[in-house]
Structure formats: C-alpha cells, structure tokens
C-alpha cells in the first residue's frame, strides 16, 4: 500500500513540477483514474485502456460502458475521465469566445478536435463571429456526408443574420483521419462563400479535422480564390 501511495505521489509531483508534456499517455490516464479511486494502484488499468483504445483522445472519448469493460475501472473512474474531458472543452470554448480567431486555424482545431475527432460520422459546424472576430455562437448544421444535399447555405445565412454575425468559420471532420478536402468539400465551400458574399458576410475559413491534423481552406488560399471567382462572375453581369 505504501509503495502504491508513493507512486501516486511521485506522479502528482511530476505533474506539478513539469506539466503534462513529460508524461506518457498511460500515465495521464493513470492520474485521471486515481481521481475516482485515490487509494488504489491504477497503472495496470491505464495501460490496458491505452492498449484497447490505442490513443489518449480515444480513451477520453470512449463510452462509459466501454471503459468499464476493463477490469478494475468502475463508475468513479469513469467520472474522473469524463469530468476532465468536459472541463477541457469548456475551458477551450471560453478561451475561444474571448479571443480573435481570424488568423488562427490552429486555435479552432484545438477547440474542436476533442469534440470531432472520434465522431464516427461527419459533422458540419459553423462558428458565428462578430466584427472583432470573436465567436458569438457555435452550431452543428448536419451529420453525415457533407455535401450540398445536407448543408443548406440559406439556413446558415439565416442563422448568421439572427446572430448578427459579421463573419463565419466552417468546421467539419473526416472520420477516415485524412483531412484533405474532397471535391464535394470544395464545391460546398465555394457555394457557401458565394452565398455569404451576396449578404456581405465574410467567410474566414473552412477547417477539416482529421487524425491529429487539419486542413485549412484559408491557409491554402482557397477562400481567397473563391472570393475572387465570385467577384469575377458578378462583374460579368
């Protein structure tokens, strides 16, 4: 018992001294599990969780019943894991609400990665921003394959007017893990840029989230390309 207690104390001191970067994934899970059972050695369960779910993010996103399939992980342990996950989400959201995001596709990725990476289906989200490029609201518009049949530009523009948004950021995930945009992704993004331009609303970016990586239409120059194409098309008439 004293040995187990000493090990837990060393982990906690290690975290307080140097933060999380020096920890292996299973050590992070071990710390989270001890929130539920502070007097028990959780190293074995933590290693088994990483073996079963492969990555730290997958453990955090696992369903409670899946976690409890591992011997020694009970409701109290699951509570600790889910609490930390939801606290992290709220912290990232509150930080995003108070900061400009116009030039920070990485911040948007960090904010939504935990929410979207482990989704089995594609989700299409819209971030509504004010004139200072601060997030006013976040809304999911569709689940399933992202194309023009499930993403309706007029609904997004209507919601933008309701929120008095000056600009928009679109975000969706690729469950395959590869964030490179499909032709359908490019087509719907172009259509959304065109529709927003008509209403004098700025599209700042469309970010596709993959497995610990992302693709930014703005960073790749595609948002600017679609805006120029809209202006060229409009000037013809």
17/31 Cα distance (integer angstroms)? 15
User: For residue range 133-190, what is the model confidence (pLDDT) as tens digits?
Assistant: 888 888 888 877 655 446 788 899 999 999 999 999 999 999 888 999 999 899 999 9
Find, among 218, 204, 208, 144, the residue nearest to 182 by Cα: 208
Alpha-helical runs (H) found in the chain: 2-18, 25-36, 43-53, 56-61, 64-67, 75-97, 105-116, 153-162, 183-198, 222-235
The number of C-alpha atoms within 13 Å of 119 and in the hemisphere containing its C-beta is 20
> Which residue bears the tokens 């209507």?
158
The confidence score (pLDDT) of residue 195 equals: 93
Tokens of 57: 């993010």
**Phi–psi pair at 72, nearest 5 degrees:** 100, -10
Residues 6+ apart with CB under 8 A from 8: 34, 38, 41
User: For residue range 49-66, what is the model confidence (pLDDT) as tens digits?
Assistant: 999 988 887 888 788 889
* pLDDT for 207 beyond 70: yes
The confidence score (pLDDT) of residue 1 equals: 47
114/60 Cα distance (integer angstroms)? 8
Contact between 173 and 215 under an 8 Å Cβ cutoff? The reply is: no
User: For residue range 92-134, what is the model confidence (pLDDT) as tens digits?
Assistant: 777 666 665 556 788 888 878 877 766 778 889 999 999 888 8
**Pairing of the two strands 202-209 and 167-173:** parallel
Quickly state the pLDDT bin for 35 (edges 50, 70, 90): confident
182/15 Cα distance (integer angstroms)? 42
The confidence score (pLDDT) of residue 36 equals: 77
The confidence score (pLDDT) of residue 148 equals: 45
Mean pLDDT in residue range 211-221: 91
Reply yes or no on domain 101-235 having CATH 3.40.140.10. Answer: yes
Q: Tell me what the pLDDT averaged over the chain comes to.
A: 83
Mean pLDDT in residue range 55-82: 86
Spans of all domains in the chain: 2-91, 101-235
| Helix (H) / strand (E) containing 204 | strand 202-209
Alpha-helical runs (H) found in 117-182: 153-162
Edge-first strand listing for the sheet containing 123-129: 135-143, 123-129, 167-173, 202-209, 214-216
3-state secondary structure of 139: strand
Percent of the chain with pLDDT over 90: 33
3-state secondary structure of 173: strand
Alpha-helical runs (H) found in 75-182: 75-97, 105-116, 153-162
* Dihedral angle computed from the Cα positions of residues 62, 22, 11 and 118, in that order, rounded to the nearest 10 degrees: 0
Tokens of 97: 């609400």
Tokens of 139: 């809304």
Mean pLDDT in residue range 22-45: 81
């Amino acid at each position: 018992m004293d040995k187990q207690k000493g090990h837990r104390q060393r982990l906690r001191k290690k975290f307080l001294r140097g933060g999380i970067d020096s920890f292996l994934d299973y050590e992070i899970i071990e710390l989270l599990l001890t929130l539920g059972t502070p007097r028990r050695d959780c190293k074995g369960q933590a290693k088994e969780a990483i073996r079963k779910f492969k990555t730290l993010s997958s453990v955090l996103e696992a369903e409670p019943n899946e976690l409890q399939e591992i011997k020694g992980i009970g409701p109290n342990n699951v509570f600790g894991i889910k609490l930390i996950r939801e606290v992290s989400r709220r912290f990232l959201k509150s930080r995003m609400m108070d900061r400009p995001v116009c030039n920070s596709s990485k911040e948007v990725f960090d904010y939504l990665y935990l929410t979207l990476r482990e989704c089995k289906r594609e989700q299409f989200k819209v971030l509504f921003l004010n004139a200072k490029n601060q997030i006013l609201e976040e809304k999911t518009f569709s689940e399933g394959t992202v194309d023009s049949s499930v993403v309706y530009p007029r609904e997004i523009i209507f919601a933008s007017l309701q929120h008095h948004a000056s600009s928009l950021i679109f975000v969706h995930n690729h469950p395959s893990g590869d964030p490179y945009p499909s032709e359908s992704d490019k087509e719907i993004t172009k259509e959304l840029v065109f529709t927003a331009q008509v209403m004098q609303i700025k599209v700042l970016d469309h970010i596709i989230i993959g497995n610990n990586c992302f693709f930014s239409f703005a960073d790749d120059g595609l948002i600017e390309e679609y805006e120029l194409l809209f202006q060229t098309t409009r000037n013809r008439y």
